[in-house]
Every structure is written in structure tokens, then in C-alpha cells.
Amino acid sequence: MKYNRILLKLSGEALMGDRQYGIDPKRLAEYAAEIKEIHDKGVQIAIVIGGGNIFRGVAGASNGMDRVQGDYMGMLATVINGMALQGALEDAGMQTRLQTALKIEAIAEPYIKRRAVRHLEKNRIVIFGAGTGNPYFTTDTAAVLRGIEVDCDVILKGTRVDGVYDSDPEKNADAVKYDYITFDDVLSKGLNIMDTTAFTLSQENKLPIIVFDMNKQGNLLKVCEGATVGTTVNI
């Protein structure tokens, strides 16, 4: 395998499957099967999930809700998603640990960097919930931050599109896909991969990002094997 330790970033919306909101058990099982493939080959796996299928702080703020309160609600939504994914992974036979940036001892460990690394070394899958524990930061930022802290080799951003394009492929049939692009080119072209804080953090710490279609069976394994899947963003 090309990568020994990865940080897999999943959107909350991905867990909806074909539903309008919430969590689709079928999609969870599909993701668990994909993750098990790389887990069985010895890849150490950390995961961060968004909470957009349940609640978005930014959306709440746009409707008059206090932004800080909304962001904390969003953090709790990521914990719910983390618990759901944890259950699916354990049903598939993998050992997991859920760590949260907010203290919720009844259901999860508090995030402790050394403990997280030890879990990874023991081939337990570590799910990081509650973002960074601070309002005004997205789960993209949390993913990059945790990836740097636990010394991951790469950030794998699983999305519903198969990479980074020069324009929105869902709106423009002539959009051109990049197999490889530098951080500087992403910024100069104004491409939207992650929020600015997350992207800058990744660039400054020379942590590559691979954007790929998580919903296509076998893609996660191919990425970890080093195949050209999706778009790689690097120095």
C-alpha cells in the first residue's frame, strides 16, 4: 500500500444516501465494506465526518440563529454520525474508537493525541467527532488538523464527484478534470476544494489531499494502492 496512515474525510450529506436527510443504513454498510478492504491490508485509518445531513451551523446562522450556538449543534451532529459509522464498522468486524473534541464521556473518549496514535498503531479505526471543538471552524479544518497531529500521510476527501474540475461538472458538461494539481494552482484558479483555513493548513504542513468519488466501489482501495484515482493536490 502506498499510504500507511490516512485521514479519511467524509461529508455528512454522503451518509444520507438517496434520502433527503438523516442516515441511510445501506450507505453506512457500503462505506464500512470499503473501509474494511484497506483495513485488512494494514492501512491505519482515522476518519472525520461532517454533520450536514443533520444540522449545519452556517445554515442556522443564516436563518437568524446565533452562529456559535449553531456551530456547537453542528459539532453534536458530527458525533451522531460518528456513532453511526462506528456501529457499522464494528458490525463489519473492525475495532474502533470514537474520540471527541467536546467531552461526552458516556459515549466517546476525549480527544488525546497520544491515545489516538496508540489506537492507530494497534490497527483500531479512530473516528474524530465534534470538529475542532471550536465554533467558526469546519470539519474540513478539523480533518486537516487531526491529520497533521496524528502524522497521517495523506488526507483522502471522499465526495460524490470523481475529482477536482476547472468548473462545476454537475453544471458544465465540458468541465476538465485535473489528475494532479499544486496548492498554488488551486489558489490561483480559485478552485473550491476545502475551506481556506483547512487548505492553507494542509499546504503549510505539506500534507497532500486526494479528492475522489467515495461512492464508486473499490475507489478507496485503489487510492491507497497508489492508483491514479480522483485528483491529487500537492506541493
Q: Are strands 180-182 and 164-165 parallel, antiparallel or unpaired?
A: unpaired
Is 135 labelled as part of a ligand binding site? yes
Is 78 labelled as part of a ligand binding site? no
Is 172 labelled as part of a ligand binding site? no
Q: What are phi and psi of 132, to 5 degrees?
A: -90, -5
Is 134 labelled as part of a ligand binding site? yes
Is 166 labelled as part of a ligand binding site? no
The vertex-183 CA angle with 59 and 170, nearest 5°, equals 50
Is 133 labelled as part of a ligand binding site? yes
Round to whole Å and give the CA distance between 170 and 175: 9
Is 137 labelled as part of a ligand binding site? yes
Is 111 labelled as part of a ligand binding site? no
Is 100 labelled as part of a ligand binding site? no
Is 9 labelled as part of a ligand binding site? yes
**Residues near 158 by beta carbon (within 8 Å), at least 6 away in sequence:** 8, 9, 10, 11, 14, 212, 213, 214, 220
Give the CA distances from residue 229 to residues 58, 59, 121, 166, 210, in Å, rounded to whole numbers and listed in that order. 31, 32, 27, 17, 8
How many C-beta atoms lie closer than 10 Å to residue 187's C-beta? 14
The vertex-28 CA angle with 15 and 92, nearest 5°, equals 160
Is 136 labelled as part of a ligand binding site? yes
Is 132 labelled as part of a ligand binding site? yes
Is 71 labelled as part of a ligand binding site? yes
Is 10 labelled as part of a ligand binding site? yes
Q: Is 209 helix (H, G, I), strand (E, B) or coil?
A: strand
Round to whole Å and give the CA distance between 116 and 82: 15
Is 57 labelled as part of a ligand binding site? no
Q: Are strands 177-178 and 164-165 parallel, antiparallel or unpaired?
A: antiparallel
Single out the residue of 187, 199, 159, 191 nearest to residue 175, CA to CA. 191
Is 62 labelled as part of a ligand binding site? no
Is 74 labelled as part of a ligand binding site? no
Binding site per annotation, positions for UMP? 51, 71, 132-139
Binding site per annotation, positions for ATP? 9-12, 52, 56, 159, 165, 168
Binding site per annotation, positions? 9-12, 51-52, 56, 71, 132-139, 159, 165, 168
